Structure 1
């Protein structure tokens, strides 16, 4: 196991009715900008609950943050923060709203061009505004980490940044708020969390059994409960456990002391930026081919994953890996997510466009061994046609 530092200051308030805790968690004198996505926060009554819990605090609303939050929209929020002298941000929504709020928190007090926050992967962030979150869509783990992914439409660029300055001060997780989610978002959330885990787990062994077993347990929980979330949409216990799995998948715990991959995500971001395909669906269509093409460098962990998560222990190594990859694809399909580029009307011509973007954004040496060059990226895309 590698040496590491672990820091996570986010206060989690988990359970039904926890929105009332906002009165204790947000400073009494705060002027609050409440950020949210579409109309669902309002139509489901969650926004009214949030405002009631905030009581007499001065509140300004900012809606319209996209499913893939855009730099253009978020800079409008930054302008409001400055015009209205906002001193606290509150994200109400899923990972996209929270990611966007992180960017606003950093950009509103950034001395230079806010685009440099993303171009520097967050290295230039030295401070940020305080903010909290009310999570309504579990998927990304953004409610308990310091990462954010933002799209700039002008450049068709989807870039990420990380900084210890953008950990949420608190996050409220009420599983009942997920009961009104459309099936598509539930499916996306399960698969997104699943691949977050594999990006930190399916690399190579470094004698880290705690992280491995934790990751395998989270994967097994998703395999068990994901389909139940679709077949039993009113089951609050299922939603509660899925909510906590998604948070744990990217809270930093399972990723400390072990190598990371993230090649699937980096290529997937280009598909979202170019064709506006849901993030979870881009990575679901990429992961099976990614594992297949890279089976040699990932062999030990693929065999372990197959045995411990899917119970695959018979056959040659190649046969076991084939079966493991197929089980993974079948699970995504069970969650009603298609896993081929052709399912999204993407062809070899589109692969040429994707390759141009990968090169333009410097995605030429991805993965835990930096082995995923442009040629291999093309192979992976073609394998998933």
Structure 2
């Protein structure tokens, strides 16, 4: 196991009816900006429930944060903060709204051009506004981590940043708030969490059985419960366990002491920025080919993954790896998510554009060994065509 530091200050309030806890979690004298996405927060009654819990506090609303939150929209929220003298932020929504709120929290106090927050991967962030979240779409784990991904439409750029200053102070997780989600969003959330886990697990062995077993158990839970979330949408226990898996997938726990990959994410981000494909769907279209092209470097963990998660033990190592990659692809498709670039209207010209964007953004040495260069990225994309 590798050396590591573990820090996570986020308070989790989990369970049905927990939105009422906002009255205890948000300072009594706060002037609160509630940030949310589309109309679902209003139409489902969640926004009203949140405002009721906040009681007599001064509340301002900011809606319209996109599924891939944009720099342009978020800077409008920063303007509201300064105009209205806001001193506390509350994200109500999924990972995109929470990611956006993290950027707003940092940008509102940032000295200089806020785009530098992303260009420096968060390295220039020295402070941020306090904020919490009410999670309505489990997927990204943003409710309990310090990371955020933001798109700038002007540049067709989708960049990430991390900072200890942007951990949520608290996150409220009520599984019943997921009952009204469309199937597409439920499926996206399952696949997103699945790939978050594999990015920290399918690398190379470092004698870290605790993290491996955590990761494998979470993957098994997604395989078992993901399809049930689509066929039994009102099952509270299914939704509760999926919500907690998505949080654990990226709250820092399973990734400590082990190498990380993230090449699938970096390539996927470029596809979303260029073609506005759902983030989870870019992951589903990249991961199978990624594992295939890089099978030699990942062989030991792929064989372990095949055995422990999928029960595949018969055959040569290459046969086992072939089988487990196909099983992974079948699982994504069972969730209703297509797994080929061509399924989304992308072709060889698209691959050229994606590789050009990777080069422009300095994504020329990806993966746990920094060996995924532009030529390999092209090969991975072609393998998934």
The TM tier, using the shorter chain, reads: over 0.9
Q: Deviation digits for residues 56-81 of structure 1, max 9, x if unmatched?
A: 00000000000000000000000000
> Number of residue pairs matched?
385
2:363 aligned with 1:363: yes
Separation in 1, partners of 2:314, 2:130: 53
1:74 match: 74
2:53 match: 53
2:116 match: 116
Matches within 5 A, 1:231-242: 231-242=231-242
User: Offset of 1:26 from its aligned partner?
Assistant: 0.2
Matches within 5 A, 1:99-248: 99-248=99-248
Q: SS where residue 350 of structure 1 aligns?
A: helix
Separation in 2, partners of 1:352, 1:327: 29
User: Offset of 1:188 from its aligned partner?
Assistant: 0.1
2:376 match: 376
1:37 match: 37
Separation in 1, partners of 2:171, 2:74: 20
Q: SS where residue 339 of structure 1 aligns?
A: coil
Q: SS where residue 64 of structure 1 aligns?
A: coil
Q: SS where residue 158 of structure 1 aligns?
A: strand
Matches within 5 A, 1:186-335: 186-335=186-335
Separation in 1, partners of 2:355, 2:311: 36
Separation in 1, partners of 2:378, 2:4: 34
Separation in 2, partners of 1:294, 1:3: 26
User: Offset of 1:82 from its aligned partner?
Assistant: 0.5
Consecutive aligned runs of 4 or more in structure 1 exceeding 3 Å deviation:
none
Q: Deviation digits for residues 294-321 of structure 1, max 9, x if unmatched?
A: 0000000000000000000000000000
User: Offset of 1:382 from its aligned partner?
Assistant: 0.2
User: Offset of 1:268 from its aligned partner?
Assistant: 0.1
Q: SS where residue 132 of structure 1 aligns?
A: strand
User: Offset of 1:252 from its aligned partner?
Assistant: 0.2
Separation in 2, partners of 1:124, 1:34: 26
Q: SS where residue 41 of structure 1 aligns?
A: helix
User: Offset of 1:240 from its aligned partner?
Assistant: 0.3
User: Offset of 1:87 from its aligned partner?
Assistant: 0.2
1:17 match: 17
User: Offset of 1:219 from its aligned partner?
Assistant: 0.0
> Which ranges in structure 1 are unaligned for 5 or more consecutive residues?
none
Structure-2-length-normalised TM-score: 1.00
> Which ranges in structure 2 are unaligned for 5 or more consecutive residues?
none
- How much is the aligned-residue C-alpha RMSD, in angstroms? 0.3
Q: SS where residue 288 of structure 2 aligns?
A: helix
Q: Deviation digits for residues 201-237 of structure 1, max 9, x if unmatched?
A: 0000000000000000000000000000001011111
